[in-house]
Structure 1
Amino acid sequence: MTGPRIFESLDAEWALVCAESGRAEMVLGWLHEGGVLLGDERAPGGLGDVLAGLERRDRAQGRVHSDRWMRVLLERAVGEGAGAQLAARVVVQAMLPGAVRMTQRLLRAGRDFDETGQVVVACLYQVVRRYPLHRTSGVAANLLLETLHLASCELQADTETDALPWHPALESAAVPGEPTADDPAETAWRTALGEQAAKAGLLRADEIPDGARGELVELLVWAVAAGLLDGVRARGIADESRAGARESAERAGVSAVTWRQRRSRTVRQLRAVADQWVQAA
């Protein structure tokens, strides 16, 4: 199962879709027409096996492969009729792991996981059914980034929290020719998080929020949005946690004792914020 109720329901629905005869052959026919070959088209085990085969090839061949097969199905999904619904459903199922993680990261105080997940899934369906086919690179990341924008705006209307910023240049989430992350959801999230963190002054122009640094920045962005930290304090924490910050402080005349006291105060404050973050999640 992919996660709590909303995603369990989608997985159960997917099992029913896969059980209907002729579905695997229909999707394989579209893929074959689009030049996407799995090597075992003649004897598919079912629609679930088709998707699993595509995902295995994605891991082996990377974004070029996922771009190709997703575009084939999206060309069908933006149309009308049962074929469009089936194509959209396959793409949505492929994107569900990213949708789960997006739901977790969009949680705020007062938001329910399943209600947030319903918004995310509804927005994902909208994005799939109206995907701009001229965007041929980084399809999975683009789907998630636009879903993130729509979902955050929907949730903002309900909870009056700040929505994540949106920029039309979706290709920035997956630059052609550059190595891409294994998980397009992470790519999309880092892009949106980086924009919001930079706007709040938590990142320098050349910083990329990844690893432990990215987790800290994500916590600070959430804390400011939730009203647990003001922007000045969040920027101070971001500055003192950068590599080389202690050396810079010493050059500015800050004693080792003062630095340790400052760090202890920051740790206590972040521990309290993190506790509330966990409770909200």
Structure 2
Amino acid sequence: MAQAAGEAGRDVRRGLHEEWAELGAQPSPAVIGWAEGCGELTGASTPGDVLERVGGAPDAVLGFLVGRAQHGGGDAQLAGRVVVQAMLGKLVRLARADAGAELGDYVAQLWCTIAGYPLARRPRSVAANLWMDTRKAVRREQGRPTAALAVPDAVLDELWTSSRPPADELSVHRVVRHARALGLVDEPTAAVLLSVYADGLTSAAAGERHRMSTDVVRWRCSRARRRLAEHALVLAAA
């Protein structure tokens, strides 16, 4: 079963990359026109150009693309596809850490998340919110608990926007590394934070990895979140 799921995930990933290899290099009038609504895309002519701009201004570019995808115009599909490609690495890691879902499940739910993302209310930390909402949707679809990543948006905004490129697992690593260097968290807590927030593990799975109880994992995460939130400005400047 696990082997079959792994093969299915590789097929999905391969298919998306092959599609992108062709799509990403094609000049597009729609892409050229996007510069009018998003200055960060000035000079971009291909979807690949747009993808490269995400790292420099993730909220601006991803927010614009989500808006175009929701608008329903002729460029909606293309805008959404760029977002999927930008998030694909994170989806692959989430799927690998999830014994109950495949990459295809995460990709499908990401499309749904893009369509319903509350852009006006959550214009910051777009990448982080997209993957967290997608993860919750996958778990909800399968009738599993969704509270493992229940972090207030205000805390997310301060923590995830403290580093670039877009707020995915790389941002988590940077925030945790800075927090460790500043003495805000100890080494065991840092390892737990990476397992939960970068790798997407549940508290139970993280507990198995680090040989501690689920309650201890939750306690470490809760205490760390409070500490990081209290020092968010320092972390952002680190």
Q: Same fold (TM over 0.5)?
A: yes
1:88-121 superposed Cα distances (whole Å, 9 cap, x missing partner): 111111111111111122x23xx4xxx5211111
| Cα distance change, pair 141–213 in 1 and its aligned pair in 2 (3 A) | closer
8 Å Cα contact 1:31-1:37 kept in structure 2 = yes
1:52-107 Cα offsets, whole Å, 9 max, x none, are 2x14xx2xx4xxx11111111111111224311111111111111111111122x2
Figure out how many residues of one structure are paired with residues of the other and give that number: 193
Quick one: which of 103, 128, 151 aligns to 2:138? 151
Q: Which residue of 2 aligns with 1:71?
A: 63
Deviation at 1:170, TM superposition (A): 3.4
Aligned to 2:40: 36
Asked whether the equivalents of residues 101 and 185 of structure 1 are also in contact (C-alpha less than 8 Å), the reply is no
State how far apart, in whole Å, the 1-side matches of 2:66 and 2:116 are: 9
Amino acid at match of 1:127: T
Report whether the alignment pairs 1:89 with 2:81: yes
Is 1:17 matched with 2:23? yes
Deviation at 1:14, TM superposition (A): 2.0
How far apart, CA to CA, are the structure 2 residues paired with 1:154 and 1:78?
Answer: 22
Q: Which has the larger radius of gyration?
A: 1
Taking a change above 3 Å as real, the CA distance of residues 234 and 31 of structure 1, as seen in their structure-2 partners, is: same
Structure 1 counterpart of 2:125, from 121, 126, 138: 138
How is 1:1-281 mapped onto 2 (pairs within 5 angstroms)? 4-18=10-24, 20=26, 22-23=27-28, 25-38=29-42, 40-41=43-44, 44=45, 46-52=46-52, 54-55=53-54, 58=55, 61=56, 65-105=57-97, 107-108=98-99, 111=100, 116-134=102-120, 135-155=122-142, 157=143, 161-165=144-148, 167=150, 169-175=152-158, 179-180=162-163, 184-186=167-169, 211-214=190-193, 221-222=204-205, 234=213
Asked if the contact 1:31/1:72 (under 8 Å) is kept, the reply is: no
Letter in 2 for 1:85: Q
What are structure 1's unaligned runs of at least 5 residues?
191-205, 242-281
Per-residue deviation at 1:188? 9.3
Aligned-partner SS, 2:124: coil
Gaps in structure 2 of 5+ consecutive residues: 1-8, 174-184, 221-238
Counterpart-to-counterpart distance in 2, 1:104 and 1:35: 36
Say whether the 8 Å CA contact 2:139–2:146 is kept in structure 1.
yes
After superposition, the CA RMSD in angstroms is 3.8
The alignment's TM-score, normalised by the length of structure 1, stands at: 0.55
Distance in 2 (alpha carbons) for counterparts of 1:174 and 1:209: 24
Q: Which amino acid aligns with 1:142?
A: N
CA gap 1:103/1:31 in 2 versus in 1, 3 angstroms: farther
Equivalent position SS for 1:32 = coil
2:69–2:75 CA contact under 8 A, matched in 1: yes
Task: Note if contact 1:127-1:147 (Cα within 8 Å) is conserved in structure 2.
Answer: yes
The one-letter amino acid of 1:15's match is: A
Q: C-alpha distance in 2, partners of 1:128/1:27?
A: 19
**Aligned-residue offset at 1:136:** 1.2
Normalised TM-score (structure 2): 0.64
Q: Distance between the aligned counterparts of 1:19 and 1:236, measured in 2?
A: 48
Give % identity.
27
Aligned equivalents of 2:127, 2:47: Cα separation in 1: 20
